[in-house]
Structure 1
Amino acid sequence: MDLFRFLSRFSPLQSTLAPMAAVLAMGGSPGALAAEVPLEKLSLPEGFKIEVYAEDVPNARHMARGEKGTLFVGSRRAGKVYAIVDNDGNHKADEVKVIAEGLKLPTGVAFKDGDLYVSAVTSILRLDDIESRLDNPPKPVTITNQFPDKHHGWKYIAFGPDGWLYVPIGAPCNICEEKDYANIQRLKIEGDKVVKTETWAEGVRNTVGFTWHPETNHLWFTDNGRDMLGDDTPPCELNTAPVAGKHFGYPYCHGKDVLDPAFGEGKQCSAYVPPVQELGPHVAPLGVKFYTGDQFPAEYKNQVLIAEHGSWNRSKKIGYRVTMVTLDENGNATSYKPFIDGWLQGEEAWGRPVDVLVMPDGALLVSDDKAGVIYRVTYQG
């Protein structure tokens, strides 16, 4: 169990101790300077280059891009939301502004119609007309505050092609069977209110990243497998939910065929939707995107890129990388391999990827909540 998880059990102390935990978890430094980030330790396929796009972004988590080009970044331990601005268009951040602070685990950010939506455990907040107010940000509007305050309460959020806001509700435990948890919901928002809520997928332990296929508009998501079944069991998952109402196995079945020892009795894994790709055990897959740009070679087009945050309870660490899952024309996985590796050196990790975002020029941004930076990946040819 990491320090923040331990401290967060004591909610009355959380606001006092969480910032201290954040500093300790990041090696005593609230952020990183570009000169201190050992990019030379990272390995990428031939022809690719990685640079620091923005530095000193403590606990940088999920990302969203505004219509005017502002990069918005949530955090977890820092309790802040950042706006990152490239004023001169040289593909390197000029300013990192704090546009909200004092929030509880504001991990997820989503941009729609000029407004920024932020998840804060129980609440979905909105910062109106934010790109014109970066230096004088508005007070957040509360869209809803009805989500549970339980374990896995931090949330990735994103608007789907249907205009609804998709929000996960993680399992309130490592492994348990509780109604109304372990699912993905979608919210129809009109004005300042949620007018309708639907459950899109069930049996999802804890997804902290999802996206939609650029051609089919089907939902794809990562899922973090349960702990305490050993180093190599169960796998984490990449899944797709093209329609509502599917069940993905938790807490009864993990991966394609691992029945849970506590909840799997009398169940069959064939009754649930199997993952498109089993990922490494305990790699903690978070952000996921299809590569939709034109800068990378053709074989990367519409393939899946995943930020693997890295294991915390394995005797030998694994993850701490960005991987790619290659799909065929029918959406079946044909390979799963590292795309960027090297944040883990032996058993010591100096960085932890969280999210990926494809920019209009085809570059790929990667957030790192341990180093406190945003990277920019380009193809040089």
Structure 2
Amino acid sequence: MKITVSNSLHQIILILLTSLFVFSCKQAKQEKKEITAMESAVEDSTRLPIERLNLPEGFKINLYAEGIDNARSMAMGDNGTLFVGNRRGKRVYAIQDTDGDYKADNIIVLDTTFQVPNGIAFRDGSLYVAEVNRLLRYDDIEANLNNPPEPVVVYDDYPTEFHHGWKYIAFGPDGKLYVPVGAPCNICESEDERFASITRMDPDGSNREIYARGVRNTVGFTWHPDTGELWFTDNGRDMMGDDIPPCELNRVTEAGQHFGYPYCHGGTIKDPEFGDKFPCEDFVSPAQNLGPHTAPLGVKFYTGTMFPEEYRGHAFIAEHGSWNRSSKIGYRISLVKVEDNKAVSYETFLDGWLDEASQEVFGRPVDLLLLDDGSMLISDDFGNAIYRVSYEKS
């Protein structure tokens, strides 16, 4: 696997490489390899004990890419380049599988100066990157991975608050770019109507509008393959105990709907601070309540043909896992089965990142992406990896 950086960073890397060369002369007979700041992460990531992961019979999981520090949102380019965002650092990655073996061959760091580039989307040859308060566009990016063009600022008037400020972005079937704005707190009311919402706009940044309200912190959404309706995960508030409120999977049936935050959680639970202001009946109830504090992020309806028929049309969800519960929960891929456009069951599909006995964790799933062959990629911002789940008939 080759790891490179774009030409915009070459001067910095050249200085580092020159210094390293002085110390490597005595090892000239060793195999040559490119050394970057990512090398240690690659070495560490190979220790991931993926044999602990549990899947239904016939499924298997492999590492697609390693050493992707804080791997978050994913988007696929027209020519097969996998773009990966980052929340903890300032990088965006371009990953290439040049020989078609479903393992990364080249990893390119596009830039190291982004401000929380969690959100990634791709459309018409252009890469869209969401920072906290603005959206950037890189045109014809796959032809210029080693020398990216100057980005076009698509929109730069989102709030600058960091709390829940990282964004997940995606283009809908209507051609609009959907961008959430998380609540700037655990629980609060805000005079700025942009907070706790999902917005949408034209690809050039014009005609921005609020599409859904009362959304505390969604970091994953998708559209139903048949109805075209938006389904999104939402992270429930903290500090109400281990078992309430639930996190949520929601379904938007028309623009302007309100999903309860900060007044009502899980469809029926009044908030202890704000719940007396409005009854829960005033808001749209979740399509499916998920586990409390599971931190659901990426969600995708399965539309491929590799997995058995029983999985098609149902929603996979990446549960990032709890951070302040007395015993950890989540750290898995769950499956919500949907019939007649309604959620009918909620179950585990893939787990094992969390050892429930020791409470130790080696991975936290973030986003999901379906490949053309029907297999599914999973990003992991704790294990710094991208996994591939596939299925083979016995």
Query: What TM-score do you get using the length of structure 1 for normalisation?
Result: 0.90
SS in 2 for 1:292: coil
- String of CA shifts for 1:8-35, please: whole Å, max 9, x gaps: xxxxxxxxxxxxxxxxxxxxx6456564
Report deviation, 1:160: 0.6
1:290 to 270, 277, 301: 301
Partner residue of 2:26? none
Q: What is the identity, as a one-letter code, of the residue corresponding to 2:126?
A: D
SS in 1 for 2:136: strand
Note if contact 1:31-1:373 (Cα within 8 Å) is conserved in structure 2: no
2:50 to 39, 46, 66: 39
CA distance, structure 1, for counterparts of residue 41 and residue 220 of structure 2: 25
- Larger Rg over CA atoms: 2
1:368 to 365, 368, 380: 380
Q: What is the identity, as a one-letter code, of the residue corresponding to 2:186?
A: N
Partner residue of 1:186? 200
Partner residue of 2:232? 221
Partner residue of 1:234? 245
CA distance, structure 1, for counterparts of residue 123 and residue 167 of structure 2: 17
CA distance, structure 2, for counterparts of residue 153 and residue 32 of structure 1: 31
SS in 1 for 2:206: strand
2:360 maps to 1:348: yes
CA distance, structure 2, for counterparts of residue 134 and residue 266 of structure 1: 52
SS in 1 for 2:117: coil
SS in 2 for 1:236: strand
Percent identity of equivalent pairs: 58
2:348 to 338, 347, 358: 338
Note if contact 1:31-1:371 (Cα within 8 Å) is conserved in structure 2: no
Q: Higher mean Cα deviation, 137-146 or 70-79? A: 137-146
2:273 maps to 1:262: yes
SS in 1 for 2:122: strand
Structure 2: 5+ residue runs without aligned partners?
1-39
CA distance, structure 2, for counterparts of residue 256 and residue 127 of structure 1: 40
Q: Which runs of 4+ in 1 moved over 3 A?
A: 29-35
C-alpha RMSD of the superposition: 1.1
CA distance, structure 1, for counterparts of residue 298 and residue 203 of structure 2: 24
Partner residue of 2:75? 64
CA distance, structure 1, for counterparts of residue 131 and residue 266 of structure 2: 29
Q: What is the identity, as a one-letter code, of the residue corresponding to 1:336?
A: Y
Partner residue of 1:167? 179
Q: What is the identity, as a one-letter code, of the residue corresponding to 1:290?
A: F
Report deviation, 1:335: 1.1
Note if contact 2:260-2:267 (Cα within 8 Å) is conserved in structure 1: no
Report deviation, 1:242: 2.3
Partner residue of 2:169? 157
CA distance, structure 2, for counterparts of residue 278 and residue 41 of structure 1: 27
- String of CA shifts for 1:45-77, please: whole Å, max 9, x gaps: 111000000111000000000111110000011
Structure 1: 5+ residue runs without aligned partners?
1-28
CA distance, structure 2, for counterparts of residue 35 and residue 110 of structure 1: 28
SS in 1 for 2:335: strand
Query: What TM-score do you get using the length of structure 2 for normalisation?
Result: 0.87
